[in-house]
Amino acid sequence: MPAATTYYNCPVLIGEGGPASSPNKFFVAQQASIEETLPLLPVKSLGQTSVLNTIPENVLQGTISISYLLSAGSAGGKGSLSISDILGWSTMDRTIPLELNGQIGVTRFQNAVLTSFSLDAGAQSVISCSINLAYYKQSQALTDGGDTSETLLDTNSLEYAHGANSTPDAGELALNDNLFSFKFDLTESVTPIHILGAIDQTQLLKGGGEAKMTWVGNNLPQALVTSPDELCITARGASFTASSCGEAMTESISFPLGSKGDENAYMSNRSIDVSEGGVLNGTATLTQFY
């Protein structure tokens, strides 16, 4: 049965390694939710109209959704969550999906895998991100996270910019100071593999994945302007860099990403308007499959 828990403006810990490891990355989520679904099958006896029993029809499916602003700050010695951290958790450059554990507010989770990551950077704006995770272990229940509040992280004071209540000495928010908007989307498929009679999965299977970079607006990057008959971008790429006002942080994404699959990025969509004496306007999308 579904059981959703949602937090707003809450501290989040996350990291690799499984149940015994301590999460080593920190950020403040504008909104974070955990939902579990366990498909149930009603069982009836021959000749009976009432349900006599209920059994699980399939394994537990847990989903975690987190939205936050890209930022840097201090939180009890925990490092800031960077774009490179998240890309390293994906199956982009690995064969076996990486399992993560973490804590959202007072709720802990274990054995989760990354299913999608999105970054949205409007022109001259702060940058919002979202992470989606999934877990399939019925025996690894959610547990109490201990002493955590909007101002404390395991008894350590928080100083972190998170959009809802940010000050100059609380870390800094990343900005897109370009005249164009930028969006990055990564999605991937992970399937749990079970053996007969086992509740927990014995293996996680990597499926297909896709990463996209999209630019919209004025002054589009020169790297996207190719000849009309050259749609495939190979042996070259494009990148996006975000920084904070105080230059405390710089984040970047470069295409194509390192991958165990195809390491080429392709122009999958392009609409560019060039006028005499004007700047470039339009939309351009690079896509990489892995």
What end-to-end distance do the CA atoms of the chain give, in Å? Answer: 34
- DSSP per-residue letters across 136-194: --SSS--EE--SB-SSEETTEEEEE--SSS--TTS-EE-EE-SSEEEEEEEEEEEEEE-
Q: Classify residue 63: in a domain, yes or no.
A: yes
Q: Classify residue 127: in a domain, yes or no.
A: yes
For residue 243 the two structure tokens come to 């920084």
Cα 100 from Cα 69, distance rounded (Å):
21
Q: Classify residue 48: in a domain, yes or no.
A: no
Cα 108 from Cα 56, distance rounded (Å):
24
Q: Classify residue 45: in a domain, yes or no.
A: no
**Chain segment 242-282, per-residue pLDDT in tens:** 888 766 778 899 888 988 888 888 878 777 776 666 666 78
Q: How confident is the model at residue 212 (pLDDT cuts 50, 70, 90)?
A: very high
Q: Classify residue 47: in a domain, yes or no.
A: no
Distance, C-alpha 143 to centroid of its chain: 22
> Residue 116 to residues 162, 166, 190, 215: CA-CA distances in angstroms?
21, 27, 11, 19
Judged against a pLDDT cut of 70, whether residue 149 lies above it is answered with: no
Most confident stretch, 42-46, 114-118, 176-180:
114-118
Tell me what percent of the residues of the chain surpass a pLDDT of 90.
Answer: 21
Dihedrals φ, ψ of 222, to 5°?
Answer: -60, -30
Cα 121 from Cα 128, distance rounded (Å):
7
Lowest mean pLDDT among 11-25, 161-175, 261-275: 161-175
Q: Classify residue 46: in a domain, yes or no.
A: no
Distance, C-alpha 29 to centroid of its chain: 12
What range defines the domain where residue 149 resides? Answer: 3-39+55-164+171-289
Q: Classify residue 182: in a domain, yes or no.
A: yes
Query: How many domains does the chain fold into?
Result: 1
Q: Classify residue 49: in a domain, yes or no.
A: no
